[in-house]
Structure 1
Amino acid sequence: MKPDRGHVSPLREYVESIACLLRVEPEASWCEEGRPSTAYIALAEQVPCHPGRLLMAQWSSDSGWSLALEPECGEAPVVLSAWPHPARPAPTVVARRFRAALNDLAHRRRPPRSAPRVSQRSLSTSVSNTSEPPSSSRWSHGRSGGAL
């Protein structure tokens, strides 16, 4: 079911405007108002230093925006770049930061040393210690949009 476009929250408008600036269809984004409020934008890009991994933009009213690897089977998102302040910058500022980070990552050939590595053992432990995963409707998204 498509959301009612008659009333769009200011947070939804903010996230959709960033998605559009990143050339991502609004349907590939998600947001939820609360304490903290959160948002997500699925990016179709991949970078050479993380072959085969898709990227995502994530936001929290507590921690600002970050660029991360899409999680794989029970892992937490691996944050590649973060911009905690200001927590809710103008959409053009967010898009500019993401483009710059993606450009920098495009020139790396392997993950930076600071990127955490998840062993199969720790992954198994983290999966068994987590509660129920988010519902598929909350995290479902399309893979659309073009290059940044």
Structure 2
Amino acid sequence: MRLPAGQDSTAALRPGLAGYLRAVAVAVGVPSDGTSYEISDTATAYLALARRWPRRPGHDLMLEWGERTGWALAVETAPAETAEVLAYLGGGDVVPPPEEVARFVTAVIAGAEFTRDRPAFDHHDRHALAGRLAHYAARSRLRIL
């Protein structure tokens, strides 16, 4: 879906991103209060996972999304430290289906190898991204940072 010319892409992105995040949260089993997103110079999202990684059982896992990097599974560290990225989903699509994100999380936790190289999605077109996320807009009951 393409947005009409002149429509504010940031405002149009908000309901679609919220709905997409909600769909991913449902797929990975995260309640709404374990999610957040922000749209500023870049759009980002966060899901706090209840599952643990066997190699770091004392640390929480999180799933992060960025419009330029896609999905990453990471181990949360101290608040002032950067999270340790375990793997990036990659695959060439910054907005993969929620079920694919859930399979990625399960596979990484089970020990499957995924790239640790940060992907770069160079198609930075907010209108196109908002259009791709538009069908998720009905699921947009999430808290905004």
TM-score interval, normalised by the smaller of the two chains: 0.5 to 0.7
**Pairing partner for 1:56 from 55, 62, 65:** 62
Correspondence for 2:105: 98
Gaps of 5+ in 2: 1-13, 117-143
Q: CA shift at 1:67, angstroms?
A: 0.2
Are 1:10 and 2:5 counterparts? no
**What TM-score, normalized to structure 1?**
0.62
Q: Distance in 2 between matches of 1:103 and 1:48?
A: 8
Larger Rg computed on CA atoms:
1
Does the residue aligned with 1:9 lie in a helix, a strand or coil?
A: helix
Q: CA shift at 1:35, angstroms?
A: 2.9
Correspondence for 1:31: 37
Gaps of 5+ in 1: 1-7, 106-113, 115-136, 139-148
Q: Distance in 2 between matches of 1:81 and 1:10?
A: 25
Q: Which amino acid aligns with 1:49?
A: R
Give the length in aligned residue pairs: 101
Greater helix fraction, Structure 1 or Structure 2: 2
Instruction: Point out 4+ residue stretches in structure 1 off by more than 2 angstroms.
Output: none
Q: CA shift at 1:24, angstroms?
A: 0.9
Are 1:81 and 2:75 counterparts? no
**What TM-score, normalized to structure 2?**
0.64
Higher relative contact order (CA 8 A, sep 6+): 2
Does the residue aligned with 2:58 lie in a helix, a strand or coil?
A: coil
